[in-house]
Chain A
Amino acid sequence: METRAIDWWVGIFVLLGIAALVVLALRVGNLSGFAYDSGYVLHADFTNVGSLKTRSPVKIGGVTVGEVTHIGMNPKTYMANVTMRIEPSIKLPIDTGASIYTQGLLGEQYIAIQPGGMPQNLKPGATITMTQGAVNIDQMIGQMVFSKAAGSSKSSGSQ
């Protein structure tokens, strides 16, 4: 085959590889996070973050409006400190609450924001104080089994 044709094909091949990598990065890996780069930062302290991780979505009414950028530990209060980035167009009142929910039974965890009704808005870098941590399924099942057992023993005792 002629050298020129080979050069063309090799060029196309290398470009294909780069294109594949770019598509993987943006479409599959969501490397960008581009939507939230310009967003503002909020903090929230939770008693328990469960399996929440960096890049977990932050949603309002099921619509993703930001993502978790960092999870740390507050050494004074022993609370999990979550940092997130929120789209700049979304302004949140100061009495806004945040909860950690799970998508479905085994799905991933996300932060759900419940906007409040106060006229003042949270400033970038502010902390959301009204929070509800992740529900610990182990604990919940344990409680259920325990109360069931307690209930049944009570009922058997009355008979």
Chain B
Amino acid sequence: MAMLEFIPQLGRRTLQSIPGLGAASRFLLTSLLSVFNRHFSFQQLFRQIYGFGVRSLILMVVAAFFTGMVLGFQGYYALVRFGATSALGTLVALSLLRELGPVLTALLFAGRAGSALTAEISSMKATEQLSAMEMMAVNPLAWVVAPRLWAGIISVPILCAIFDLVGIFGGYLISVPVLGVDGGTFWAQMQSNVTFSGDILTGLFKALCFGVVVTWIAAWKGYTARPTAEGVGNATTLSVVTASLTVLGLDFILTALLFS
């Protein structure tokens, strides 16, 4: 009986979410295209890249360094049993370039910048700042939302490239000086198994997709938040949760599409 009620409910929920998705897509496209609007400002864009990208750098570098070191350790103990430690460089590099780099960058970005973005836009809405802009004949999508979306989309791949590099360096530091893997083999194996377009660029393409998704969700949740203190709080939490889950789900789809 409960099952019978559950099925139509699921259907109804799904149907209800379709117009929401449509509205969110229109929001994304209108905002992205408003770079051509006269109220779009590159100064604002730079300000946001500074806020999202530059100020996330230290977080990313620290996280990448530890991730790389852990990969080095775990990889070593898994491979040493088969006498295959020569493949450690490949293992560290491929794990980071294909999966851990893009996914961890996106998750950290959702927590660090995505939440701040949702909180900022939703509190601007709650205090009528967006309506005030509208009344002053300034399009809030062009002035507020577009620079933030573009800043996220530009920042995430850059952060991901830095994450990959620092992570591989962390893996090297553990593997070669600490665990005694031969340095030449570490790099040579990595170089002969990593391809530029297949692994490095594909990983960065993933990061780009995640950048779009995370900032899109964050901005949309902020823009549609209920204009109360509670609404701002809810939207911020929901933004991080939704963005993180979407990144993981999308990662599965992209991996299946790009690496098969």
Q: How far, in whole Å, are A24 and B98 apart by their CA atoms in the complex?
A: 13
Most chain B beta-carbon contacts within 10 A, residue among A13, A14, A31, A103: A13
Stretch at the interface among B47-55, B65-73, B123-131, B134-142: B47-55
Chain B residue with Cβ nearest A11: B46
A119 proximal to B (CB < 8 A): no
Main secondary structure of the interface of B (DSSP, over half): helix
Q: Among the listed A10, A20, A31, which residue makes an inter-chain contact with B165, where contact means beta carbons less than 8 Å apart? A: A20
Q: Given A3-B43, A20-B161, A21-B204, decide whether A108 and B53 contact each other with a Cβ distance below 8 A.
A: no
**B54 engages A9 (CB within 8 Å):** yes
Most chain B beta-carbon contacts within 10 A, residue among A27, A57, A105: A27
Query: How many chain-B residues does the 8 Å CB contact rule pick out?
Result: 37
B228 proximal to A (CB < 8 A): no
Query: How many chain-A residues does the 8 Å CB contact rule pick out?
Result: 31
Which chain B residues (50-64) contact chain A, with CB distance < 8 Å? 50, 53-54, 57
Q: How far is the CB of B88 from chain A (nearest CB, A)?
A: 12
Q: Given A9-B50, A106-B84, decide whether A30 and B199 contact each other with a Cβ distance below 8 A.
A: no
Which chain A residues (28-66) contact chain B, with CB distance < 8 Å? 28-31, 55-57, 64
Chain B residue with Cβ nearest A30: B191
**A27 engages B43 (CB within 8 Å):** no
Interface residues of A (CB under 8 A from B): 1, 3, 6-7, 9-10, 12-14, 16-17, 20-21, 23-25, 27-31, 55-57, 64, 103-108
Can you show 28 pairs from A to B with CB atoms below 8 A apart? A1-B50, A3-B43, A3-B46, A6-B47, A10-B46, A13-B50, A13-B57, A17-B157, A20-B161, A21-B200, A24-B97, A24-B164, A24-B165, A24-B168, A25-B196, A28-B93, A28-B164, A28-B165, A28-B168, A28-B190, A28-B200, A29-B200, A55-B195, A57-B192, A106-B82, A106-B87, A107-B84, A108-B189
